[in-house]
Structure 1
Amino acid sequence: MPHDTTRLHHVGHIVEDLAEASALYARLGFSVPPPSCPAMPRSVGGAPEPFGAANTHADFPDSFLELATHAQAGETGRLPTDTRLVPLEAPAEELQQLVERIGETSASLAAYLDRFQGLHILMFSSPAIDDAAARLTSAAVRHSGVNTVRRAAPSGADSPVETIRYLEIDTQEPNTGTGAGTVPEGRVGIVTDLDPGIQSARHLDHPNGATGLAEATLCVADEDLAATHHRYATYLDRRPRQEREGLVFDLDGAALRLIPESALTATLPGEELTALPALVAYTVTVRDLPLTRDLLHRNDIPLRETPTGDFFVPAKAALGTAVVFRAGCGVPLDHR
């Protein structure tokens, strides 16, 4: 029977300063477009100012990396100068709800940053999200229900509008809002598969040769490993395999790696924790690993090697998350 959750959709890197993060990702060899941020006037007749969450993506054919931060009205110093402000538009009777929802998102990002700057969002991809929602409900997993948002598609896409359907997993009491999930490690959920006709219109070519999101690594206290294993086996409807000291949930062309705290330095030599549980790393595949390594050396990016032969940028050099590079195959979709 086909799985209703098939791959990694995206991971979210929450940062204090989006301008700094965008510059870092450029040095890492990712193509990151100017970010966008909701905006609203602070007074009647005033110019729109940033409000809520600002973000940008490094896109791949079927996944992406998200960079995000929170922005207060009137605050522009932590946003790149080329940030695209998107004025809030909604019917009068819906505007207040929209403002509250964006405010909740901003508050969630601020709370994540209070824990640490780094990876706080883990979203899985689904070809059948309604089936996934029903399965989670049957398994007594609290979640937001399936939400739908629409936004303008990029120029050259097959459709002028991109529709996104998603749910967020929540271990707390049910709520009526659509705020971020509150599992211990951050925001975790499921999103409908990216539309190839829309995704292919985005910039998918990266100087570092990155072709896709291959893995996310979640580190937990040793005594919490069994309970976390059970949670994700339920979320993903899969059993993991044992690999060295950790567990690996194999997805379609990607994986979630679950490791105990005692295995962190064996998995990612030299890494240190600031909090538990924590998403400590993500892995991308690249077309030519030696060429990627050369680009990073030229950009003065420090590198370490894993026991399996991958190499990674330490979290201290990458704003709180280790960035792992792995040899892989695949050619990006043509950029239209």
Structure 2
Amino acid sequence: MTKSPSERRSAALRRFGASITVLTVLGHTVLGFEQAYLTPVVAVFAALTAEIVLESVEAATARRRPRYLGKPGAVADFLLPAYITGMACAMLLYANDRFMPTVLASVVGVASKYVVRVRIGGKSRHVLNPSNVGIVVVLLLFGWVGIAPPYEFTEWVTGWWGAIVPAVLLIAGTMLNAKLTGKVPLILGWVGGFLGQALVRALFTDISLVSAVLPITGTAFVLFTNYMITDPGTTPSSRRNQVCFGLATAVVYGVLVQFHVVFGLFFALTITCALRAVVLAVAARKSPQWTVLVPAQRTAAEPMPAREPA
């Protein structure tokens, strides 16, 4: 039986929420995550609180019922994106024993969905990947905060288990995107573009091709490719535009790395999302059937745009 878009969105959110929860638990008990045990708890609490507060303000402004007061299933689907944002920020940021940078990333990520939106065809869409933009803001504000070291995903496992972990993440993420999010064209565009920028840099600079391609073999790249860049709410839906989005992210990444910008994956995605927002805004001005408003209010009957993880 074919699922409706809302059913696929709900299934994707719940599967991703379960996946990131399992990975976090295994990370802190088996794999070798180095953040404090309370970090994901505090981050999720901050993200959910921000979601409820901002939704309350918007609902009061629009004179509608807050979505966290609906049926249990609908409430779960409403809160899951914020939950995923908090978990993703807690997993990917490393601020030693301090919680506030991760809390700030979680709150900024959730707030970005309410502050920066594009209204297209009467529907309000957020345009910045929540988890990613929260992480980028913290990296820019605090020079001593970094991305969690990729080795922590396999730090406590030895032998072939070190290869099994990214393999499982790759298979699970690919199945999720193939069956529910429909973002396989975007993944192919991103991976193909990443290989292309690596080849160009190897041909025209002094970097070796092996060094330029090496990040693609790591767990961090697998997570970014299957669970970060494929956010349904902030990426195109058509196959052609998905490929273009993936290629554009790879090009921006290559430019940033060439200029020695660290954490290029996250900055590249934020820049590409921002550029896409500009393109949508310009197109809306030229097309009479599109209207743009940033920020914009949702009506009570208007469904939430699809969002995914972190």
Give the helix-richer structure, 1 or 2.
2
Give the strand-richer structure, 1 or 2.
1
Q: TM-score, normalised by structure 1?
A: 0.28
Q: TM-score, normalised by structure 2?
A: 0.29
